[in-house]
Amino acid sequence: MTHKLPPLPYEYSALEPHIDTRTMAVHHDKHHQAYVDNLNKALSDFPDLQNKSTLELLSDLGSVPEKIRMAVRNHGGGHANHTMFWNSMSPKGGGVPEGDLADSINEAFGSFTDFQDAFSKAATTLFGSGWAWLCIDKESKLLITTTPNQDNPLSQGLIPLLGLDVWEHAYYLKYENRRADYIDGWWNVVRWEFVANNLTAVKIAHGARDVAEDVKDWAQDTWSMIESAFSSSEED
């Protein structure tokens, strides 16, 4: 099995005016494609690892041979992060979360506005290239974190529910150096249903973990379930 570039779940122009057509085309067709190609190149001599999902690899980088560990971290991370990113946005996005996700955000951050402010601040002040994340920890508590480069929170034991790419390639053509304006625009396209589905998938996985006796037996199923939630682009 080799990794493939997933198609964008909407037109390049769908997120205008918040994210411009040319940025979407270059970001998806060139940048994301390069992560996929370089991940496949890194895995080419390791057929056993080719059968693992990207998330499974990133959640246990220590088990990846040292020779390709950095390549898997960078390009596997790039592939996983961008796949999640495309699916987390929609022309019908924006607004506020509902249901269990809204309750979990209020519990962790006080209110949705407090969460939004804290997330925007983390994304704006992250130095250099990287990502801002809404994550869930092992105790099912939500938190905001940032990672450099293409690192995924899974490598630190956190499961991402929503990620924002703040590499300059994500916004420079339209917003130039104004990262804060890009972030303000991005909130208008966030697909909260996607984030809520991820939260549900992780809570189910945590429930399975809590009753499982042999961790290794369910790890692969768990990652498959979470990966399929992350890859979901279904719209109501």
**Binding string to Mn ion for residues 200 to 229, with x set by CB under 5 A, is what?**
------------------------------
Q: Which of 126, 120, 91 is nearest to 183 (CA)?
A: 120
Minimal distance in Å, beta carbon 67 to Mn ion?
26
- Per the structure block, which two tokens stand in for 17? 């005016």
165 belongs to the binding site for Mn ion (CB under 5 A): yes
Minimal distance in Å, beta carbon 198 to Mn ion?
19
User: Using CB under 5 A, which residues numbered 101 to 130 contact Mn ion?
Assistant: none
151 belongs to the binding site for Mn ion (CB under 5 A): no
Minimal distance in Å, beta carbon 221 to Mn ion?
29
Nearer to Mn ion, 141 or 169 (CB): 169
Nearer to Mn ion, 26 or 102 (CB): 26
**Binding string to Mn ion for residues 168 to 187, with x set by CB under 5 A, is what?**
--x-----------------
User: Using CB under 5 A, which residues numbered 18 to 37 contact Mn ion?
Assistant: none
Q: Which residue is nearest to Mn ion (CB)?
A: 165
The binding site for Mn ion (CB under 5 A) comprises 165, 167, 170
